[in-house]
Structure 1
Amino acid sequence: MDKRILVLNGPNLNLLGTRNPAVYGTDTLADVERVASTAAEAHGLATRFVQSNSEGALIDAIHAAREDCVGIVINPGAYTHTSIAIRDALEAVAMPFVEIHVSNVYAREEFRHRSYLSGLASCVIAGAGIQGYGFAVERLAAIV
């Protein structure tokens, strides 16, 4: 496998499975990694997983992806609605990325309807639970 994708998860996604299961379900971050890995392997892609609650660490991971990745799956968590810096980093690395959200952000609070990333994304997936990570990998595989 010489092609790799970065699967990047932002703040509070380390709490999947226990944080507000009515909204996010009971699947864990380990389950997310299993879904994404399985989808990637089916297309001959390797994966690297990074989760951080820190905006700077997420940006550093995006920058590092330039070295050995062909695309990014990103669930930026609440940074979706606030981080121009993450948007700028994704624009700067100039590789395809898929924005993913476990919940349907458009069925939630108004402030969650605005994404700084969607305008740059190759695809946006929201509300498919962790299955959305598999969809995101499938889409990246089709692009790359």
Structure 2
Amino acid sequence: MATSRKLITLDEFTIQQTREFPKATGELSALLRDISLACKLINKQVNKAGLVDIIGKFGATNVQGEEQMKLDIYSDEMLINVLRNSNDCAGIASEENDDFIAFEDDYSTNSKYVVLFDPLDGSSNIDVNASIGTIFSIYRRVSPLGKPC
């Protein structure tokens, strides 16, 4: 069934919404782009997972007591690396890590946002071709700017 509505990209949607907030700095928009980039890179790896031997168990458990999958670890590392290098995120909390990770470079300590995520929800079902995806939320940091949060 075809749809008559125009499809728009995440960037187009973000730009449209930013116009409604004249005091917007673009930092949140940039952070959404960074998360989108990480998700695209995760998707690329998931699509070839069977070919590069990253399907299966990693051999450790996460903070929920669930067995970690190789793709969980890859996805977690990808999100952390992209967000650490983005300059738009002060730190992250992930289902795959026991503790909050504060980014301590000059840009990150002045960022207004922290990101919480499950890097690859449903990864234990990937062997049976079930739906998987990244779940995230963005919060304003509560600690003072200029210091690690």
TM-score, with length taken from structure 2: 0.26
| Larger Rg over CA atoms | 2
Higher relative contact order (CA 8 A, sep 6+): 1
- Identify the structure with the greater helix proportion: 1
TM-score, with length taken from structure 1: 0.26
